[in-house]
Structure 1
């Protein structure tokens, strides 16, 4: 079984969306998908209401998710760790023990053929439109990730 982890800052906006999107594209018997945040601001909380709403618009339910903090143990559990931006990348890599850990980490938009951006912007302080844009970026990237897992 392949194990994929999605990581953003607080684990309430971008990474829960990425988790839900990728889960909707893969067979759960073959691929385990989870998400985490590099900060502990929201541990135990549900995803942001706006993330829940944009996921729901696309028939994806992320209300069973609970925010958690990324830990060094995640390097042992997951085969691939996709981060939303360079800040997340640096925070995750700072916990790496060796080059094998670092090799598991990449920017999620590196997987997208459609995106010209390198980072998924944090929509937290914006309106609903930002969440729609983030959904589209993550959906494109998750399509490519799902293809690579087949």
Structure 2
């Protein structure tokens, strides 16, 4: 059974997930509020998920982020900075849920509503892309600012 305290505890994680998916911090509160409103009408689905957070992340992903009014950023050109926004949205979501939120693959598959095999493939692809971005950023660090090796 989900209590109000369980939901309140999830609010920061929902806002952060929205921000990580869209890069839009200004609308994270609005998206979270919409998620809660939609979730209220889908209380029966809560039992399908291992946690309140997983259930609410599923609502945010499938009902809010997939709408035109909350279109996620697919790519930002920000030079050599490592940015999650440079990773395609499906892979980015899986990377954040597994490596950031520490959800297991089966819970992530429930949140994203995709087979575990797809989630596993996306996670591997996202990790490779992120590693390449990190390597690119390191190779572009300015020569005028040597790293301190002490």
Shorter-chain TM-score range: under 0.3
Q: Which structure dedicates a bigger proportion of its chain to helix?
A: 2
1 or 2 for the larger relative contact order (CA 8 Å, sep ≥6)? 1
TM norm structure 1? 0.24
Q: Which structure dedicates a bigger proportion of its chain to strand?
A: 1
TM norm structure 2? 0.24
Q: Which has the larger radius of gyration?
A: 2
